[in-house]
């Protein structure tokens, strides 16, 4: 095995010394690295060892796109509102909420409509409103009332009954239902 000095090792590994100038890329495609290319920000490249490191340098004369400048000036609440809501306001007079569908906010009937032809309510799940079979139903046999996970998939009436029942009543009702 032969001992190699640091200078020889660097030349074998292909690393360049800091004072060696790198030739510029010849094709325009080599400059396209995503966001800096889109924003027309000048790029300065440095090379260390075999890894390529890209450094973005923003010059005072570089134009900042209007949308990016506007985003910087927005408050935290406005940014969140833009992210989470639609882009147009509700068409209802006096309402300043963002529209979900058909130009209306959720409170004024925006969102997905029920699939039943004559129904104008908002769909809950599977394209239907509560009245036409959308959403979960109570797990008690014979009960068709709406149920929620917060009420353990029971309707309000059966959930209240369960909360006030003792252990014996719950066991008896479980065995009688099954």
Is the predicted pLDDT of residue 49 greater than 80, yes or no? Answer: no
Report pLDDT digits (tens) over 108-154: 877 788 888 888 887 888 888 888 888 888 888 888 888 888 888 88
More confident site: 32 or 105: 105
pTM reported for the whole predicted model: 0.34
Query: Over the chain, what HEC string results?
Result: CCCCCHHHHHHHHCCCCCCCCCCCCCCHHHHCCCHHHHCCCCEEEEEECCEEEEEECCCCCCCCCHHHHHHHHCCHHHHHHHHHCCCCECCCCCCCCECCECCECHHHCCCCECCCCCCCCECCECCECHHHCCCCECCCCCCCCECEHHHCCECHHHHHHHHHCCHHHHHHHHHHHC
Mean of pLDDT values over 79-92: 72
């Amino acid at each position: 095995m032969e001992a190699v000095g640091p200078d020889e090792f660097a030349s074998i590994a292909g690393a360049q010394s800091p004072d060696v100038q790198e030739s510029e890329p010849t094709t325009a495609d080599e400059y396209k690295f995503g966001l800096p290319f889109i924003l027309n920000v000048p790029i300065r490249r440095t090379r260390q060892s075999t890894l390529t490191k890209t450094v973005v340098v923003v010059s005072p004369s570089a134009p900042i796109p209007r949308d990016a400048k506007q985003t910087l000036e927005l408050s935290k609440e406005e940014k969140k509102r833009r992210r989470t809501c639609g882009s147009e306001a509700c068409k209802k007079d006096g309402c300043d909420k963002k529209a979900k569908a058909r130009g209306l906010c959720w409170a004024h009937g925006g969102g997905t409509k029920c699939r039943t032809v004559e129904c104008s309510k908002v769909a809950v799940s599977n394209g239907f409103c509560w009245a036409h079979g959308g959403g979960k139903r109570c797990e008690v046999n014979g009960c068709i009332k709406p149920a929620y996970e917060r009420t353990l998939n029971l309707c309000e009436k059966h959930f209240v009954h369960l909360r006030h029942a003792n252990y014996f009543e719950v066991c008896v009702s479980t065995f009688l239902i099954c």
